[in-house]
Every structure is written in structure tokens, then in C-alpha cells.
Amino acid sequence: MARVAVIGAGVIGVSSAYLLARAGHDVTLIDAASEPGMGASAGNAAQLSWAYGDAMASPALLKHLPAIAMGRDPAFRIRWQLDRDFLCWGLKFLANTPFSSWWNNTQEILRLAEQSRHELVILLKETDIEFDYRVAGKLHLYADRQSFAAADSSVARKNALGFEQRLLTRVEAEDVEPALAAYQGEIAGAVYTPSDALGDAAGFCRQLTAWMIERRQVSVLFGRKVSTFVQTGSVLTGLRFEDRDELRVDAAIVAAGPEVRSFISDLPEARDIRPIRGYSLTVRRTGLAPSISLTDVKRKLAFAAIGDRFRVAGLADIERPGAGFDAGRFETLRLAASAVLPDLFERSDELMRWSGERPMTPTSMPIIAASRRIKGLYINAGHGMLGWTLALGSARRVVDFFQ
């Protein structure tokens, strides 16, 4: 049994702590925030996209890149930075856009998602935690015939891998989700994935942490920021906090999401992770809200009914790390959501305005690895657009390092 510290209590850290404790390790879960799930996991789109998994670097995005670079797509914003890491990340991202790289990366992501789904089934049997989880199904909405026609081959590939996905006309999509009749956006067709699920990621972090504390499975240190590692030679022996206090451990998992970059000197693997900022708006759910998850492919908006709340999330802003909430960008999201579902986003009570950074790698695959520099140090970060979906599978791969 090892003494293991998990740094970061977002979906990745909490999932890692849970599976490490279940494997019999003595786990301390640490976060700089006062409670779990306050980082990128706090206001995400809630979708557990088991059958999506599409890597962001793709031939389609490459084609669209000139429009994005010229600021012609409101869903994206690039703030060019003259730093070496930014340029290297950009070049590696471009190198992953050819079809063969995209498809390899996507299949890797789908395998990890499948592992996550498997672990979630076990977790739901073992715990009684409530996080508004349900198998809601998902509809990807395509605005024009051309993009819908392109979805055809993607569905065929996913079907060949054993995922159930179907192409639907607008009328068929409205049979699946009657609330779509009020959707003001163009719908040339939809891809229906019945098995996709959703759940509140922040609720999962809070509930699972409380469940583990109650059963004395983990110790927690919240409101404590880790600043550096303590070593004897190249072997990890502990952590040092900002206040200079130390904690002795045999191993540490860095699950610090986008902030993993603050450990680059000890964990050069983190250089490949850059933040992509997104926004969300949560309103009170009314009877008009679609119950199935929706993704509007053209507008890059994801919608989810989470318990008594309804959320839209979107935008992908590549900018300097820690840039913060931009009221203008939030307004872009609010207007786009109001244009397609005005009854919900113009007339429902607003509950939360949020923005967070997706920790993104050029391949869209997370980095789950042992540090090249310090023995006993591991990284579990860089889950990008799909961290909630990939959390438990990634945690399983971390536990495998200790066997």
C-alpha cells in the first residue's frame, strides 16, 4: 500500500482518488479551492459522450481554420501568442489534422471512453451518490445538407466499432425529442446516439468526495495549494505547499487540469497542455426544455437538462492561460443560445454564468504517464473537451501504474 497524494479535485483527481483508494492505497486528495469540482469541471456541458470522442484536430477543422483565424466564426477566438510553447502546440495540433491522425486519435479516445463507461457502471452499483445522472441520449443537429451528408461516413465508422448511432430527418428527430419543434435553428438532419448519458460533473466531485470521506477512504486537504515536490535524488518523497508545509508521500498524481502547466519544470510532459476557454449559462429548467442532450454542430453549442437546471455551453477561445471571464464572449454565447431556444434563454431564471479552461493537448488524448524526471510522480491531465467523459477510464489507467 502506497501513500499517494492526488493534486486537484476536479473530475480527474476525484476519480483517481476513488479508484486508488479502492485498490487499497492510502490517498490524500488535495485542492487549492475550498471544495471539490470548482475548476474546469464546475460548469461544463455535463455530457457523457461515450460514442462521440472526435479529436478536435481534424480535416474539417483544418478547412475551417482560415475563417477562425480571421475571426469569422463567433464560436472560436484565437489570441496569437509569441511564445515557443504556443507555437509548438499549434504545429503539433496542425500535424494531427490529417484524416489518419484524426481517426487514430478518435479511436484512442473512444477506447478510453469505453473504459470510463465500464468503471461508471461499477461506481453506480457501489455508491449511492446523486449527481443527476441519466442515460438521456444525444442528438447532434446539422444545419445544412452538406455537413449532414458528411456525418454519414462518421456514423458508418462508429457503427462498425459497435456504437449505436442513427441518421434522422428533422421530423424523426422531433419524434425522439418533441421539444425540438420549438428549436429556431436550421436542422437539415440529426445524428441520434441513444446510449450517451449526462450528469453534473461538479455534483459528482462533491458527492463522491463526501462518500469517500464518510467511509474514511481518503484524507482531504482543501484550500491548500501545492507549489513544488520534495525529492531525494530523483525519487519523490513529498510535496511542499505554498505556506512551506510539507506532506510526506510515496507517490503523487498531478490532476491539476489547465493549471498543470505551473509544474512544467518538474513535469515537462505538461508542456503539451494548453487551455481552451469555454463558457456556459445555466437557467431554471422549464417544461419547454429538451430532455435529450443536444449539440448544435454549426453553432458549437451543447445543451443539457441537468436535474431542475438547463445548461448551454460552448465557445473555444485559445488565449493566454488564466485570461479569465470575458463578459463580451459570454454575451456571444448567451445570444447564440437565445437565438435557437428563446423561450428558455430569454425568459427563464438565470442561475449561473460560468467560464472555464479546457486542458487541451494537440491530439485531444490526455497525458496519463509517469514523469520522466521524478520517480513516483505521475500526470493525469489534458482531457480537453471530454474530461468528464474520460475521467474514470483515465483513473483506471493511473491505478494500473501501481500494480
Ligand X SMILES: Cc1cc2nc3c(=O)[nH]c(=O)nc-3n(C[C@H](O)[C@H](O)[C@H](O)COP(=O)(O)OP(=O)(O)OC[C@H]3O[C@@H](n4cnc5c(N)ncnc54)[C@H](O)[C@@H]3O)c2cc1C
Residues found near ligand X in the complex (CB under 6 A): 7-13, 30-33, 38-41, 44-47, 49, 225-226, 255-257, 259, 262, 278, 280, 302, 313, 356, 358-359, 381, 383-389
- The two most distant CA atoms of the chain are separated, in Å, by 66
Q: 247 or 302: whose CB is closer to ligand X?
A: 302
Shortest gap between Cβ of 32 and ligand X (angstroms)?
A: 4
CB of 380 to ligand X, least distance (A): 8
Closer CB to ligand X, residue 107 or residue 228? 228
CA 20 – CA 364 distance, rounded (Å): 24
Shortest Å distance, C-beta 393 to ligand X? 11
Q: Which is nearer to ligand X, 179 or 273 (CB)?
A: 273
The smaller minimum CB distance to ligand X, of residues 174 and 253, is found at 253
Q: Which is nearer to ligand X, 174 or 192 (CB)?
A: 192
**Shortest Å, Cβ 145 to ligand X:** 27
Q: Round to whole Å and give the CA distance between 90 and 209.
A: 36
At its nearest, how many Å lie between ligand X and the CB of residue 41? 3
Closest distance of CB 37 from ligand X, Å: 7
Closer to ligand X by Cβ: residue 58 or 174:
58
Between 40 and 337, whose beta carbon lies closer to ligand X? Answer: 40
Say if CB 365 and CB 334 are below 8 A apart. Answer: no
Q: How far is Cα 30 from Cα 27, in angstroms, rounded to an integer?
A: 10
Nearest approach, Cβ of 138 to ligand X (angstroms)?
10
Specify whether the CB–CB gap between 247 and 1 falls below 8 A: no
Q: Which residue shows C-alpha cell 445555466?
A: 282
